[in-house]
Structure 1
């Protein structure tokens, strides 16, 4: 039978090449030689009887069969890792780990309450929260490094093999420190280009929204800009300077409530985007992961009830 001939090294090599889009980078990630990765991929293709990569391109591109197989290969690695961890931790301390990848806005707005409720259930599982940009958490999920993700729906190529469950929507916020000169009576936003603006970098999920906002505000090419997705840096730099910060509302909701940051009078009603749970389609989840997702759904429902801002 075909499945008896496929080994873990076949799956791990294939998933890493697909994730990193490079045989060389996959070899480094797996700590093996590049020829070994190429040989392993060829073996897997011979076993399956199809080509998993389209070799007519200069870059590494999945074939149709490769896209289909990736769904199950990544899910298999994740399931195997969960099983091994469950046994090891059960022997060591009677506990397990649930790995959650999340956008910074979700980490700040939804996860604190959700994790508290999860821990209150005394399920004997340790949550591990990994905060990153959307593309990174989807790639980690595909590589079997996460149990599930809390983020936005990616591009069709990024979502191959993944399922998205919408929880709530969130807009972009434009904020500054509470006593910023722009809040002075009659100041307006016409001199925005006088200040440094923190903007999500190209490729990040809200970069296009940020650029459109700057164009609408007539911020010219002389704009001094810092590209960042770091919530820690954004908060520290903005509260200590006259910088303007364009961020997910969830990243700054706590600061706005505390009064350390204030929203500038900018219409961001057209920047709403969906946030939700992302999992491997059809892949089984551990009990801990299921319970964590249930806690996240509960908190997200409260965010919706408050009114998505």
Structure 2
């Protein structure tokens, strides 16, 4: 089947923005066009494709099965075209840019080490890092807004159609501030529920591992909790309170080595989830993204061998 030459770049851009926003109103605002004009453009595209791409409702616009299938190719196509145009602009070449989606589990130790090595080898490289929940980052990867997503991966349907490569396994542990009462308590295991708890947000992949840790060791979680993906907030709150942090081990590794935080010696450590990189197989990987993959594999191997940065 030949591509209908009536399909224009604007059709794809409008389609991708509505898919990204889940709403015609928000998409029209982002694109700075009127909602009727956006709706007309989508209708033109659906007519040309002879397929319904969105189901409209009061709550927004949701992709149909046909829309999901088209999204796999529309995003990478637009991104490839943009890169091609940029590469031909004489005198306007920008530095190589790698666009990474980074989950909280790797932003404090793995990613800084990766960026250091990348900049040492590629002086003109720009590393653009976006943080957030895995569902959001994977959706950005799917439409070509990110080159890679790095972190503890999810079993969510969001990862379907994408490619995941395991780098290393990361455990979770319970940590407290130096001088915490539980450190001197021979029955600390029984008294955990008496102290505030810091947990990842409900519904996230890392939260499932945290919940599993408590179930496996028959611990009743406290009712007083702070739920967040922010490592900065978690670290600061634990240091100035009696709270217990269910933390990814990499996130607190340096705090433990400095003595700022202390691991509770309860024989409790969840065996580990898979930390890796996720890419979009439908997207032609840029040179900068390939450099990132190379260094991520290198550092991941060191992690597996116990040679941590």
> 2:37, 2:247 → 1: CA distance?
43
Does 2:221 correspond to 1:219? yes
Structure 1 residue 123, shift from structure 2 partner: 5.2
Task: Find the residue that maps to 2:237 and give its secondary structure.
Answer: helix
User: For the residues of structure 1 that align with 2:59 and 2:128, how far apart are their CA atoms?
Assistant: 38
Aligned to 1:206: 206
Helix, strand or coil: the match of 1:141?
helix
3-state SS, counterpart of residue 188 of structure 2: coil
Question: Gapped runs of 5+ residues in structure 1?
Answer: none
The offset of 1:299, in angstroms, is: 0.3
Q: What are structure 2's unaligned runs of at least 5 residues? A: none
Q: 1:51-82 CA distances to partner (integer Å, 9 max, x unpaired)?
A: 22356997643333222211111112332344
Between Structure 1 and Structure 2, how many residues are aligned? 304
Q: 1:154 to 1:74 in 2, by over 3 A?
A: farther
| Distance 1:224-1:87 versus aligned 2 partners, 3 A rule | farther
Partner of 1:115: 115
Query: Where in structure 2 are the equivalents of 1:131-142 lying within 5 Å?
Result: 131-142=131-142
Give the CA deviation at 1:178. 2.4
Secondary structure of the 1:104 match is coil
* Aligned CA distance change for structure 1 residues 183 and 61 (closer, same or farther; 3 Å): same
Q: How does the TM-score come out when normalised to structure 1?
A: 0.87
- Is 1:253 the counterpart of 2:265? The answer is no
CA–CA separation in structure 2 for the residues paired with 1:284 and 1:164? 16
- 2:231 matched to which residue of 1? 231
Match of 2:299 in 1: 299
1:233 to 1:55, Cα distance in 2 relative to 1, 3 A: closer
Give the TM-score taking structure 2 as reference length: 0.87
Equivalent-residue separation in structure 2 for 1:219 and 1:195 (angstroms): 9
Q: Distance in 2 between matches of 1:36 and 1:268?
A: 55
Q: Counterparts of 1:61-72 in structure 2 under 5 Å? A: 61-72=62-73
Retained in 2: the 8 A contact 1:13–1:41?
Answer: yes
Spell out the pairing of 1:143-292 with structure 2 (5 A cutoff). Answer: 143-155=143-155, 157-214=157-214, 216-220=218-222, 223-264=223-264, 265=266, 267-270=268-271, 272-292=272-292
Partner Cα separation in structure 2 for residue 55 and residue 160 of structure 1 = 24
Q: Would the alpha carbon gap of residues 165 and 213 (structure 1) be closer, same or farther in structure 2, given more than 3 Å must change? A: closer
Shift of 1:87: 5.8
Report 1:1-80 matches (<5 A).
2-54=3-55, 60-80=61-81
* TM-aligned CA deviation for residue 19 of structure 1: 2.9
CA deviation string 1:124-178 (max 9, x = no partner): 2211222222122112223432221112433453124422112112222221112
| 1:120, distance to aligned residue in structure 2 (A) | 1.5
Provide Cα deviations, 1:168-218, integer angstroms capped at 9, x if missing partner.
Answer: 122222211122111114141322232221111122222223234445312
